């Protein structure tokens, strides 16, 4: 098949469609002699007869049927390529709106998205930073095209794509007197609250202290509350209390000694990882610009964790 001459396909398709060498000549705008010549040349290249010549009409052989499917596949590939090029360079414009928890903004994926977007100057990114539960509401009400969430909620209108995994750690300032957090003293420390901390704390508690069923974010004492994760990090750095963060938000402070990972008096030693999902409505086809941005995120996330 590597040596087939595509210029011969027009005559072959015309005969396959009309089941007549005479009608094929009219369809392909060729003489009947050239139709026959092209078919013979194509049969020599394939190595098999493509039509059985009968007095009534030419009958396509199995080899002919396979060649017809091969030609269709090639045409489909060419069509897909043309559409992809046209989509990439001519039609990616307009607004793509999505929502995610504020901690995602501190991940390496967001700057990588912005870098890709530079190739599409007519594409506008409309990002909303909100609590995990509010992301669901925004997607379901079609206020955003898609969102990032930290858990799956069964809903017939939602479609989920696994994006990456996020690790959660409890941290404190070296100036804090936190030797070890265990089941007896977990409620004795001061905590810092920020949007999303309730989700992270409850994941963390269920993982490391699964038997403490009655302990949740509602059980602890908050020494500080603030409406941004960046502010909460500053409060912890200032020694006001402890808190649970995605590791990617605080790793730089752990590395330079400004924060310490709290030691846990727990039998669970495995790190806590949680799945992050991209969600969108499954009830209608979205614009190509939305699918393109989602595909960027999926490409970026391959083999990576927060």
Q: Which residues contact 131 (CB under 8 A, 6 or more apart)?
A: 101, 195, 196
For 297, other C-beta atoms within 10 Å of its C-beta total 20
Identify the CATH class of 6-89. mainly alpha
Quick one: which of 40, 25, 10, 23 has its CA closest to 51? 40
Give the residue extent of every domain in the chain: 6-89, 167-273
> Which residues on adjacent β-strands are paired with residue 162?
277
Which helix (DSSP H) or strand (DSSP E) does residue 148 occupy?
strand 146-149
- Cα 119 to Cα 15: distance, rounded to the nearest angstrom: 46
* Four-way CATH pick for 167-273: 3.50.50.60, 3.40.190.10, 3.40.50.720, 3.40.50.620: 3.40.190.10
Phi, psi of 290 (to 5 degrees): -70, -45
Q: pLDDT digit of tens for each residue in the chain (306 aa)?
A: 457 888 899 999 999 889 999 999 998 899 999 999 999 999 999 889 999 988 889 999 999 999 988 888 887 787 667 666 655 555 678 889 999 999 888 888 888 888 888 888 888 999 999 988 899 999 999 899 999 999 899 999 999 999 999 999 999 999 998 878 999 999 999 999 999 999 999 999 999 999 999 999 999 999 999 999 999 999 999 999 999 999 999 999 999 999 999 999 877 889 999 999 999 999 777 888 888 899 989 988 775 555
Q: Six-digit token pair at 264?
A: 């846990």
pLDDT score for 1: 45
Q: Which residues contact 38 (CB under 8 A, 6 or more apart)?
A: 7, 8, 10, 11, 12, 30
pLDDT score for 305: 56
């Amino acid at each position: 098949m590597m040596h087939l001459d595509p210029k011969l396909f027009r005559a072959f398709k015309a005969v396959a469609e009309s089941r007549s060498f005479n009608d094929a000549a009219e369809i392909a705008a060729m003489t009947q002699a050239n139709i026959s010549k092209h078919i013979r040349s194509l049969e020599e290249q394939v190595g098999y007869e493509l039509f059985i010549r009968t007095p009534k009409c030419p009958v396509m052989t199995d080899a002919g049927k396979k060649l017809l499917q091969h030609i269709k596949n090639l045409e489909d590939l060419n069509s897909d390529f043309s559409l992809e090029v046209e989509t990439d360079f001519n039609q990616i414009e307009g607004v793509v709106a999505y929502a995610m928890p504020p901690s995602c903004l501190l991940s390496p994926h967001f700057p990588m998205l912005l870098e890709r977007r530079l190739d599409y100057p007519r594409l506008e990114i409309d990002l909303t930073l909100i609590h995990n539960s509010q992301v669901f509401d925004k997607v379901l009400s079609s206020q955003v095209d898609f969102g990032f969430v930290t858990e799956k909620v069964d809903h017939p209108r939602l479609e989920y794509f696994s994006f990456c995994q996020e690790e959660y750690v409890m941290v404190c300032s070296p100036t804090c007197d936190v030797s070890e957090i265990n089941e007896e003293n977990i409620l004795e420390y001061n905590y810092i609250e920020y949007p999303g901390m309730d989700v992270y704390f409850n994941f963390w508690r269920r993982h490391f202290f699964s038997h403490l069923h009655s302990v949740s974010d509602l059980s602890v004492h908050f020494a500080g509350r603030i409406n941004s994760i960046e502010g909460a990090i500053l409060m912890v750095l200032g020694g006001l209390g402890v808190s649970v963060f995605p590791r990617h938000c605080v790793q730089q402070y752990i590395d330079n000694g400004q924060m310490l990972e709290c030691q846990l008096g727990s039998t669970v030693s495995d790190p806590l990882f949680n799945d992050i999902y991209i969600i969108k409505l499954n009830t209608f086809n979205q614009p190509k610009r939305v699918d393109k941005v989602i595909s960027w995120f999926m490409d970026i996330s391959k083999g990576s964790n927060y």
